[in-house]
Amino acid sequence: MNYTGAEKRKHPRVPGRFIVSYRVLEENEKTDISQTKNVSLGGMLLTTNRRFEAGTNLALQIRLPFDPNPLMLIGKVVESKEITKNLIYDTRIAFLAVDEKHRKVISATVDFYMKRG
């Protein structure tokens, strides 16, 4: 099912499978690894193995093709929706703060995938 309503996002999203490690910001012990479904300058859609409450802050490390080092970001969960019962969740995340270096890497990635169309 594709959404056909008005686009509310400020930044275009591009499909892309990038490796992300994530954990609840306040929890230091449990880190999970997953991959994105799409990414933009403003956030990402991530497949997770648990449901997160909206507003939960996550510490994120994402590997993008235009930087050999993982980007360290903090994101806030916008929505976490069950896809496969008790197993797979689509979790939408808005980035809270992105420094200029990381912004350039994300922007280069989005531009590259948009041109590939």
Q: How many CB atoms lie within 10 A of CB 31?
A: 12
Does the pLDDT value for residue 9 go beyond 70?
A: no
**Domains of the chain with CATH codes:** 14-116 (2.40.10.220)
Q: What is the pLDDT of residues 53-64, one digit of tens each?
A: 999 999 999 999
Answer whether 38's CB lies under 8 Å from 44's CB.
yes
The pair of structure tokens assigned to 62 is 């994402």
Q: What is the pLDDT of residues 45-93, one digit of tens each?
A: 999 999 999 999 999 999 998 899 999 999 999 999 999 999 999 999 9
Residue 70's pLDDT is what? 93
The model carries a pTM of: 0.86
